[in-house]
Amino acid sequence: MLGRDDQLIGINAVRIVDLSEHPRSRYRRMAFITAFGVEEIERRRGYGTALFDHMRKWSSEEEVDLISLNVSASNEVAQAFYRRMGLAPRSVQMD
């Protein structure tokens, strides 16, 4: 994502997984967010929301049924952001 003066201020990387061959899967295609972030100095200006909305629209065009990602349990800011975007926790992993 480019901001003022064509500076890179955000990134989003998504891997689409085709699950159509798996008979027990509830989803045909899943988008797994492998990277998502906005430069700290540019946060709270709507860039993250715009980037997420664009990714959601693109995912819909790619006929994705589910958007998924992993977030560190200690990253409460990211968890709150994803909740605002409409995502909900599905599982907790402990090491």
90 lies in some domain: no
Residue 94 has a pLDDT of 75
Q: How far is CA 21 from the centre of its chain?
A: 24
Examine the pLDDT at 35 and tell me if it is beyond 90.
yes
The pTM (predicted TM-score) of the whole model is 0.87
Residue 89 domain-assigned (yes or no): no
- Tell whether the model's pLDDT for residue 1 goes beyond 70: no
Domains in the chain, number: 1
Mean pLDDT of the chain: 92
- Whether 38 is covered by a domain: the verdict is yes
- Please give the pLDDT value at position 2: 64
Look up the domain containing 55 and give its range.
4-84
3-state SS, residue 34: strand
Q: Which residue from 22, 94, 35 is spatially nearest to 65, judged by alpha carbons?
A: 22
CA-wise closest residue to 68 among 48, 49, 88:
88
- Residue 54's pLDDT band, with cuts at 50, 70 and 90, is very high
Query: CATH number of the domain that 67 lies in?
Result: 3.40.630.30
Per-residue pLDDT reduced to its tens digit, 56-93: 999 999 999 999 999 998 899 999 999 999 999 888 77
Is 95 inside a domain boundary? no
